[in-house]
Amino acid sequence: MSFRLRTFVTPITREIVKDKYDVIIVGGGPAGLTAALYCARYGLDVVIITKTIGGLVAEAPLVDDYLGLPEISGNDLVERFTKHVKKYNVPIVIDEVLDVFKREPGDLYWCVKLKNIGSILCSYAIILAVGSEKRKLGVPGENEFLGKGVSYCAICDGPLYRGKDVAVIGGGNSAFTSALFLANLANKVYLIHRRSSFRAFKVYVDAAMNNPKIEILTDTVVKEIIGKEVVEGVKIINLKTNEESFLRVSGIFVEIGLNPPTDFFKKIGIKVDEEGRAVVNIDKSTSLPGIYVVGDAAGGPYKYKLEQIITAAADGAIAADAVSKYVALLKPTIQKK
């Protein structure tokens, strides 16, 4: 397939974008931004396409596990990442990728279709750093009160509940950092977790246990979210005693994990594992030559499950190195066509 190179200006970020690159990176979280940085440093022509910059990290009230930057907010960390990438003049396009495909069988180029711009960009390789979406509780009242007391982002909506009682659902790092953040604003914070042990780092658990505004309810699940026009409380049940009770809160912040974009992967043709994550090799390559997946959405037997900013960044660097070798081998083949 031959290209007649075309350039245009994106309407939102006003970036000058071409329709052909060495590498297209889909996703602007730590994995995607790191992959872009390393691709640029390897001399590859690279573009980032993302719906938002920073991904879920931008929502984090506090990041205290990224080496050299203790107690930094998610927004500030993302700003530093982005500034570093922009130093290499990598265009960042705010848009959504609807599809990843080849224009004809046997074609060596991969292409992406953009939702808002309506354009198609192509490249030798694609790194998918698409992350995952917040998992829902799946209880009555959750969808009805979304934006009316139910939230999946403490840093976004926490200020709306200043001086009120709120609940955080979950037992991982996100749940505990959200609870600690909300304790600075709310009158009282209930942290509700279905188990007696926590996945969160001990430093976060200790801080929450020592915070007089935070009350931790273990072995407890939310059965229903109750209210009229807005959330008025939650019906909870203790799994050990089967005792049901009503907890009066104005806000509920759900932090129970992530769901990978399984349907998107299946649509493209990427093999997924039993959790619906893309099966990746050690170099982050997938079942489709030229397609790489990094970060939260990567899975399979070679993926070590430690969902941290630093491991997502490492994924991006590894994929960029693998892509640089892949493109170096592929370019002479394409240029002869």
Give the mean model confidence (pLDDT) for residues 34-61: 93
Alpha carbons within 13 A on the beta-carbon side of 17: 25
Give the mean model confidence (pLDDT) for residues 238-250: 97
Contact 314, 295 (CB under 8 A): no
Hey, what amino acid is at 268? I
Residue 21 pLDDT > 50: yes
- Name which residue leads in pLDDT, 147 or 305: 147
Smallest CA-to-CA distance from 152 within 141, 144, 140, 142 is with: 142
Contact 165, 250 (CB under 8 A): yes
pLDDT in tens, 55-77: 888 877 778 889 999 889 889 99
Lowest mean pLDDT of 62-76, 195-209, 242-256, 275-289, name the range.
Answer: 62-76
Position of tokens 């959405």? 297
Per-residue model confidence (pLDDT) at position 336:
45
Smallest CA-to-CA distance from 251 within 205, 172, 194, 190 is with: 190
Superfamily of 136-254 according to CATH: FAD/NAD(P)-binding domain (3.50.50.60)
CATH 3.30.1600.10 correct for 7-133+258-336: no
Within a 10 A sphere around the Cβ of 191, how many other Cβ atoms? 31
Residue 258 pLDDT > 80: yes
For helices 202-209 and 173-183, give the axis angle rounded to 10 degrees.
30
CA distances from 274 to 89, 271, 278, 299 (A): 39, 10, 10, 9
pLDDT in tens, 130-143: 988 889 999 999 99
pLDDT in tens, 173-188: 999 999 999 999 999 9
Residue 337 pLDDT > 60: no
Residue 33 pLDDT > 50: yes
Q: What is the mean pLDDT of the chain?
A: 92
Question: What's the CA gap between 155 and 176, in Å, rounded?
Answer: 13
pLDDT in tens, 148-163: 999 998 887 899 999 9
Per-residue model confidence (pLDDT) at position 61:
76
Contact partners, residue 193, CB within 8 Å, separation at least 6: 169, 170, 171, 175, 216, 217, 218, 219, 220
Residue 322 has φ and ψ, to the nearest 5°, of -65, -40
Residue 2 pLDDT > 80: no
157 counts as catalytic: yes
Print burial letters for 152-180: b (CB count within 10 Å at least 16), e (below 16): bbbbebbeebeeebbbbbbbbbbbbbbbb
Residue 330's pLDDT band, with cuts at 50, 70 and 90, is: confident
With helix as H, strand as E and coil as C, how does 246-278 read?
A: EECCCEEEECCCEECCHHHHHHHCCCECCCCCE
**Catalytic entry in 153, 165, 296, 315:** 153
Contact 100, 89 (CB under 8 A): no
pTM: 0.79
Fold equal for 7-133+258-336 and 136-254 = yes
Contact partners, residue 16, CB within 8 Å, separation at least 6: 7, 8, 9, 91
Hey, what amino acid is at 141? G
**Catalytic entry in 76, 99, 156, 263:** 156
**Catalytic entry in 157, 165, 296, 315:** 157
Per-residue model confidence (pLDDT) at position 6:
73
Residue extents of the structural domains in the chain: 7-133+258-336, 136-254
Question: What's the CA gap between 188 and 179, in Å, rounded?
Answer: 10
153 counts as catalytic: yes
Give the mean model confidence (pLDDT) for residues 229-241: 97
Residue 144 pLDDT > 90: yes
pLDDT in tens, 293-328: 999 999 999 998 788 899 999 999 999 999 999 999
Residue 31 pLDDT > 60: yes
